[in-house]
Amino acid sequence: MIYKITIFIVRLLIILLNGFTKVTGLENLPKDSGYVIVAPHRSWLDPVLIAIAVYPKSLVLMAKQELFKPKPFAWFIRQLGAFPVNREKPGPSAIKHPVTQIKEHQKALVIFPTGTRYSNEMKGGAVTIARMAKVPIVPIVYQGPFTFMNILKRQKMFVKIGEPIHLPEGRLSKEELAQYDELLIQKFDELDKEINPNFVYVIPEKKRK
């Protein structure tokens, strides 16, 4: 219930402040299973707009364990599907928990495999979790305002959902994992260009340091 109410309130606020987000590719979302969403992390708005776009599918989100220290806030973000992860020593739960949520509750895990908002280096976690849960990977990109001030300027928001990537059964070599990492980066680029052929993401100056 908390999840549903939060999505409704946030969606209403975004509509009032910025208008309707243009979402395309909804037909690519698997209907009968959970899945793993991968997206480039460019702004705090990425998970917000993705959650709204795929609703009523409930999300699972990895969050750094420091966010769970204030107990009231920890309770709230857990209701939104977040679970704590030690970024230095992730541990088995970083894999086991989302796999269980995907398989048993048909939720969608959102993972930003670039690790940080501004890195182009991929990591194999998304592929590993998708294989263990036996579900496809769905690439998604968001374009639009990356700050609250630009939301108020009513810069148009776009969410583009790509076709699901189905993984083979059996173990994958490091080389094969690297190939899927490259494929995901390629899909991000393709989706970005489909929204705007001239799109180039520029890292904010203050975030380069």
For the domain that residue 90 is a member of, what is the CATH number? Answer: 3.40.1130.10
- Whether the predicted pLDDT of 156 surpasses 50: yes
Nearest-angstrom CA–CA distance, 27 and 77: 29
| DSSP H or E segment with residue 140 | strand 137-143
Number of other residues whose CB lies within 10 A of the CB of residue 31: 7
Q: Is the pLDDT of residue 46 over 70?
A: yes
Domain extent at residue 145 = 1-195
Q: Is 145 helix (H, G, I), strand (E, B) or coil?
A: coil
Residues 6+ apart with CB under 8 A from 105: 34, 58
Whether the pLDDT of residue 209 is over 70: the answer is no
Cβ 111 vs Cβ 38: under 8 Å: yes
In a domain, residue 97? The reply is yes
Q: Decide if 205 is inside a domain.
A: no
Q: Residue 12 CB: number of other CB atoms within 10 A?
A: 10
C-alpha to C-alpha distance for 77 and 68, rounded to whole angstroms: 8
31 within some domain:
yes
pLDDT digits (tens, 9 = 90+) for 90-112: 777 788 889 999 999 999 999 88
Structural domain total, the chain: 1
3-state secondary structure of 71: helix
Judged against a pLDDT cut of 70, whether residue 117 lies above it is answered with: no
- pLDDT range class, residue 205, cuts 50, 70, 90: low
Asked whether residue 206 is domain-assigned, the answer is: no
**3 state DSSP class of 165:** strand
Name the percent of the chain lying above pLDDT 90.
47
Q: What is the mean pLDDT of residues 192-203?
A: 85
Name, in order, each residue with C-beta under 8 angstroms of 13's C-beta and a sequence gap of 6 or more.
none
Residue 131 and residue 167: Cα distance in Å, rounded? 7
Rounded to whole angstroms, the Cα distance separating 93 from 99 reads 9
Q: Is residue 209 part of a domain?
A: no
Look at residue 149 and tell me if it is in a domain.
Answer: yes
43, part of any domain: yes
Entry pTM: 0.86
Neighbours of 59 (CB within 10 A): 21
* Residue 21 in this model has a pLDDT that exceeds 90: yes
